[in-house]
């Protein structure tokens, strides 16, 4: 019987706790997704144009356009950028309460 390898806890990203309510978390999540969609608007519209009036042929006909759209979304929708957006929201909320 082998024991699992030990994992160094410092290799994990730090856990940050925020005092946001569930509705604030939902607002931050929706606002972040909306911002990312605005940045990738051209690629999303190209995909919509490609997929319009198609059903079964979407995966084969729109593969390149879908890959471009997903690459753009992945570029802007990272954990670091989401955390930065959340921190900005928390800072602005703190500034409002003072």
The answer to whether 60 and 51 are in contact (CB under 8 A) is no
The model's pLDDT over 21-32, given as tens digits with 9 standing for 90+, comes to 889 889 999 999
Confidence grade of residue 43 (pLDDT, cut at 50, 70, 90): very high
The pLDDT tens digits for 65-97 are 999 999 999 999 999 999 999 989 888 876 666
Q: How far apart are alpha carbons 42 and 67 in whole angstroms?
A: 13
**pTM of the predicted protein model:** 0.71
Distance between CA atoms of 81 and 66, rounded to whole angstroms? 22
- Sequence-ordered list of residues with C-beta below 8 angstroms from that of 20, at least 6 positions apart, any chain: 28, 86, 89, 90, 93
Q: What pLDDT does 6 receive?
A: 74
The answer as to whether 23 is a domain residue is no
Structural domains of the chain, count: 1
Greatest alpha-carbon span in the chain? 59
What are the pLDDT digits (tens) for 53-62? 999 999 999 9
Q: Is residue 18 part of a domain?
A: no
Instruction: Give residue 57's domain range.
Output: 44-93
Query: Per the domain annotation, does 65 fall within a domain?
Result: yes
């Amino acid at each position: 019987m082998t024991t699992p390898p030990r994992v160094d806890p410092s290799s994990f990203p730090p856990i940050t706790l925020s005092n946001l309510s569930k509705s604030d978390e939902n607002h931050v999540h929706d606002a972040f997704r909306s911002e990312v969609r605005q940045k990738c608007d051209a690629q999303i519209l190209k995909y919509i144009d490609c997929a319009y009036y198609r059903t079964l042929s979407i995966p084969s006909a729109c593969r390149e356009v879908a890959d471009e759209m997903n690459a753009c979304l992945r570029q802007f929708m990272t954990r670091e950028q989401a955390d930065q957006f959340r921190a900005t929201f928390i800072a602005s909320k703190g500034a409002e309460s003072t």
